[in-house]
Amino acid sequence: MNAAAKPEAADVVILGAGVNGAGLFRDLCEQGVRCFLADKADFGSGTSAAPSRLIHGGLKYLETGELRLVSESTLERNLLLRNAPHCVSPLPTIIPIFSWTKGIGAALRTMAGSTSAPRSRGVFLIKIGLLLYDFYGSRSRTMPRHKLVGKRRALRDMPGLTSSIVGAGTYYDAQISRPERLVFELVQDGLRASPDSTALNYTRLVSANGGTLTFATADGGTRAVRPAVVVNAAGPWIDLVNAALGVPSNMIGGTKGSHILLDHDELVRRLNGRMIYFEADDGRICLVFDYGGRALVGSTDIPASNPDDVCCEDSEIDYFLDSLRSLLPGLSFARDQIVYAYSGIRPLPASDASTPGLISRDHSAPVSEAKGDRTFPIISLVGGKWTTFRGFAGQVTDTILARLGRKRRKSTRALPIGGGAAFPATAADRARWLGEAARATGLAEARLEQLLTRYGTTALAIARHRAKWSDAERLPGAPDYSLAEIDFIVRNERIVHLADIVMRRTTLAITGALTARDLDAIAAAAGDALGWDAPRSAAEVASVTAELTGKHRARL
């Protein structure tokens, strides 16, 4: 019988498998809730694949008065450092300061409701902000407190900074090395906790009739589901999905954030593992830090509404390069240093704020109750940011459990994610893990160190994987990746397209490590595992090549 003719039951259907949808899926599955998660593309391929790659407490939210959000964000940052140590790591951050007293009056007006943010932030304002930041970050603290230094010390510590500074602050936030992969790990963790649940990528909602949702799946089939609750976790697509569900809405008023990655060894050397969080000449906040050996520069904050065609535009690139030239006048910056560019729409709540930076980054979950022949309520996940996904998921999970008449049976506060489970926390633990893994797999400890850094403790399963290739058979242009490693990903990580491998399960594309020969080799390995014929493999390579060289400005 056609699956669409006999709908399956689910407690909760989640539409959208970005970090908020995947985080909610994991939390609900841990509570024994039967979930059906569907995304029209790959897991973590939308807005969740386009962040600044920071796990931060939201220092700038202090001046907009969002103190509750800062408190939540700093806590969630600290928890992620413990629960996902394979992906999240401390990031010492430098704030160049260009005046002593500027910005105090404007900041007070902004906190009182003014619609114009301060264009400059002096020593006294930044000192107050960092003191508050340390206070809010005290729960589950994992990193040192801030410090301020004068101009001479700042220029000595960070050679090349513009001499127009009067001093600098240093504080700690965190970075995430593989956000797209972490989204997939959340999905995997959910399925392990609840084998009766379902998670599908490349699965599109095609109809909503009464209490039944019908989906077209990647294999050309259909699935029909009758849920008790529907969660719209589609991010910037929320209003479009609500319209498809028969509940028109105007919840999202997003802004575009763009980033570029530069091949700039001297800048990376001077950064020395730190981020510079700085004011551009127009007062907007920019950042630059070492991401996988490249200098990641971001971010713009421009009103935008169409997440399907968003890209980093020439004007944004000019803005980034000009800002870097002002900040570091002794270094040269040019377009030919760009190895990758990306953009995404922040799914912010609809707002009439005159300045995009003043739109709240907080989250909410409005409910459209069941009505007429629609038998399920719709909970829309509005706003939010990468750092707070676990806390947001917990709040929504508690709401859903109450509606289902169930109680929470497990907290996710100390629950490791994916390869963060049993991750060796100390140097001694790491040495012990590597020694045991070397004896179990026959691989050299140096190679296992590479895999552990890349995948966390999932590295052991990858090292044990037996494929037609040995670990010594490597990609031609990225020799730290093996064909056996790629084979493991293809066979175990719900791959549908070549882009899933190079853009989400690995960082091959974004770090500029990928070559045309690598694409051919990866397509051959994927085709062998998935049964692709020659035309399908060629089409996959052509599609990825067009996306990388066009939308992402990569050079293969």
Residues 500, 386 share a domain:
no
Query: HSE-up of 14 (CA within 13 Å, CB side)?
Result: 34
Residues 258, 341 within the same domain: yes
**Kind plus residue range of the DSSP H or E element containing 286:** strand 285-291
Q: Which residue has the tokens 């056609």?
A: 2
- Alpha-carbon distance 446 to 244, whole Å? 51
Strands 367-368 and 378-380 turn out to be: antiparallel
Q: Please list the residues that pair with 475 across neighbouring strands.
A: none
- The encoded tokens of residue 468 equal 């037609």
Q: How many residues does the chain have?
A: 556
Please give the pLDDT value at position 133: 84
Q: What is the CATH number of the domain that holds 36?
A: 3.50.50.60
Cα–Cα dist 434/422, whole Å: 13
Distances, alpha carbon 150 to alpha carbons 132, 153, 170, in Å: 21, 6, 11
In terms of residue numbers, what domain contains 428? Answer: 421-551
CA-based torsion, 175, 178, 184, 188: positive or negative: negative
Residues 277 and 308 in one domain: yes
| 233-258 residue pLDDT tens | 999 999 999 999 999 999 988 789 99
| Residue 16 pLDDT > 80 | yes
Per-residue model confidence as pLDDT tens digits over 257-304: 999 999 999 999 999 999 999 988 887 889 999 999 999 999 888 888
Note the pLDDT of residue 108.
62
CA 171 to CA 128: how far, in whole Å? 13
Q: Is residue 195 situated within a structural domain?
A: yes
Q: What is the pTM of this model?
A: 0.94
For residues 193 and 95, state if they share a domain.
no
435 and 541 part of one domain: yes
For a pLDDT cut of 90, what percent of the chain falls above it? 79
Could you tell me if 522 and 443 lie in one domain?
yes
- Which pLDDT value is given to residue 103? 64
Q: How many CB atoms lie within 10 A of CB 440?
A: 12
CB atoms within 10 A of CB 46: 26
322 within domain boundaries: yes
Residue 78 falls inside a structural domain: no
Mean pLDDT, range 312-324, rounded to an integer: 96
Pair 522, 498: CB distance under 8 Å: yes
Q: Could you read off the pLDDT of 351-371 as tens digits, one per residue?
A: 665 566 566 778 899 999 999
pLDDT at 356: 61
Q: Which residues contact 544 (CB under 8 A, 6 or more apart)?
A: 497, 498, 499, 502, 503, 519
Q: Report the mean per-residue pLDDT for the chain.
A: 92
Q: Where are the beta strands (DSSP E) in 113-241?
A: 147-150, 167-176, 198-200, 204-209, 212-216, 222-232
Q: Would you say 461 and 448 are in contact if contact means Cβ atoms under 8 Å apart?
A: no
Q: Identify whether residues 426 and 493 lie together within a single domain.
A: yes
Mean pLDDT of 190-207: 98
Are residues 150 and 286 located together in one domain of the fold? yes
Q: What are phi and psi of 337, to 5 degrees?
A: -85, -10
Angstrom distances, CA of residue 502 to CA of 62, 257, 297, 309, 513: 37, 22, 21, 20, 10
CA–CA dist 60, 67 (Å, integer) = 10
* Residue with token string 């105007």: 250
Q: Are residues 344 and 366 in the same domain?
A: no
Alpha helices in 273-405 (DSSP H): 314-327, 389-404
Q: Does some domain include residue 451? A: yes
295 and 230 in a common domain: no
Domain count, the chain: 3
> Which CATH number covers residue 265?
3.30.9.10
> In this structure, are residues 47 and 183 in contact, taking their beta carbons and an 8 Å threshold?
no
Q: Which of 43-57, 215-229, 293-307 has the lowest mean pLDDT?
A: 293-307
Q: What is the pLDDT of residues 91-118, one digit of tens each?
A: 999 999 998 877 666 666 665 665 555 5
Q: What DSSP state is assigned to residue 172?
A: E
Which residue type is seen at 65?
A: G
Element (H, E) at 294: strand 294-298
Nearest one of 504, 513, 500 to 556, comparing CA atoms: 513
Sequence-separated (6 or more) residues with CB below 8 Å from residue 222: 2, 3, 4, 206, 214, 215, 216
Tell me how far apart the terminal alpha carbons of the chain are, to the nearest angstrom: 47
Higher pLDDT, 67 or 503: 503
- Domain-located, residue 136: yes
Asked whether residue 36 carries a pLDDT value surpassing 70, the answer given is: yes
324-333: b or e for each residue (b if 16 or more CB lie within 10 Å)? Answer: beebbeeeeb
Lowest-confidence segment of 6-10, 304-308, 357-361, 398-402 by average pLDDT? 357-361
467 found inside a domain? yes
Report the run of H or E that residue 126 belongs to, with start and end: helix 123-136
> The tokens 């690598």 sit on which residue?
518
Alpha-carbon span 432 to 426, nearest angstrom: 10
Does 73 map to a domain? no
Q: Residues 331-335: what's their mean pLDDT?
A: 97
Residue 407 pLDDT > 80, yes or no?
yes
State the pLDDT confidence band at 1, using cuts at 50, 70 and 90. Answer: very low
pLDDT at 2: 47
Give the highest mean pLDDT range of 55-64, 67-76, 367-376: 367-376
249 with 260, same domain? Answer: no
Residue 467 sits in a domain of what CATH number?
1.10.8.870
Does 62 fall in a domain? no
Q: Kindly state whether residues 231 and 330 are assigned to the same domain.
A: no
